[in-house]
Amino acid sequence: MATVIQRRTFDFLAKDYRASSRQVKIIRTPTDASGSRAQPKEGATDFAQRWYLSLQGEVHPLASDTVSAGEGSGGQKIYRYDWTFGIALIEGFWWDWMADICKESAIAVHIIIEQAADAPEAIPVAGTLSALHPSKNTKSAWDVALRKMPKTAAEMAEAGASFLPLLGYVAKGFTLASNILESSTENQKNWFLYQFLDERLKAPTVEWRISKQVLKEYGPLLRGSLYLAFGGSPKTTPGIIKLRLRPQVRFFEPDDILYIVPTDALGSEEQVCIDVKLDVNDAQPSATS
């Protein structure tokens, strides 16, 4: 078994960010942004930001036993993949970006599951969004985590082992650094999960839609987890599954699918990805960033 982590920090310039004609350019040197009015005030429509991305998880999982779940079978093996997405400003380009983003569906974080024709099937089982408590929300960690933790996530199996009890929620190799953020608070929707087929990449995608209120209350460093099971065998499905992290931000109010997607402007070698392949005896760790 091999758990890997991929990280990247990059700067970008967004032009016409309030319009459907928005454009993104990666800032390679400070001069890339110096000629632009990248501080949205007095009618300016450009801004510069710094983003942090990370993705970690098991790159040689075992397949789940989807035929027999009885005594003596391997049972379902579930693996946790953690992502982090952070937004920061660049010195000299200060502005109140949080006041400018849309109220609903302000952030969309995607994990794209790109499967080769001969790759195993990756089956999403559950997804969570985390928050560090206590925060401006005065509920205790136990009030939130234990009462609201999804049953499927609370019983996640350690890689290749038996199901864990509730208090053994964290799988081997991870620490309980944060708690599950409930999807709704009273009548306020904090976040929700959504699955779709990415038209361009022709790949299944899991999306976290996150409201502006979450950023205001818990801060602009977000963490979440996706739980996957894998079907197949190393012999019949030896191909690679690429998990790609693609966060985005929405400033254009009239359309809830028009986001600024800076990672689309990164080169293929700069993307934050993990390559996953079913375990074989002589498997070696592999990952792609």
* Stronger pLDDT, 186 or 10, i.e. the higher one: 10
- Averaged over 122-139, what is the pLDDT? 80
> Whole-number mean pLDDT of the chain?
80
Domains in the chain (CATH in brackets) are 52-85+96-276 (2.60.40.740)
pLDDT of residue 233: 87
Share of the chain above pLDDT 70, in %: 71
The total of other beta-carbon atoms located within 10 Å of residue 190's CB is 18
- Averaged over 88-110, what is the pLDDT? 90
pLDDT tens, position by position, 13-57: 998 888 888 899 999 886 666 656 666 666 668 888 999 999 999
User: Which band of pLDDT confidence, cut at 50, 70 and 90, is reported for residue 121?
Assistant: very high
pLDDT of residue 256: 80
pLDDT of residue 158: 40
pTM, two decimal places: 0.81
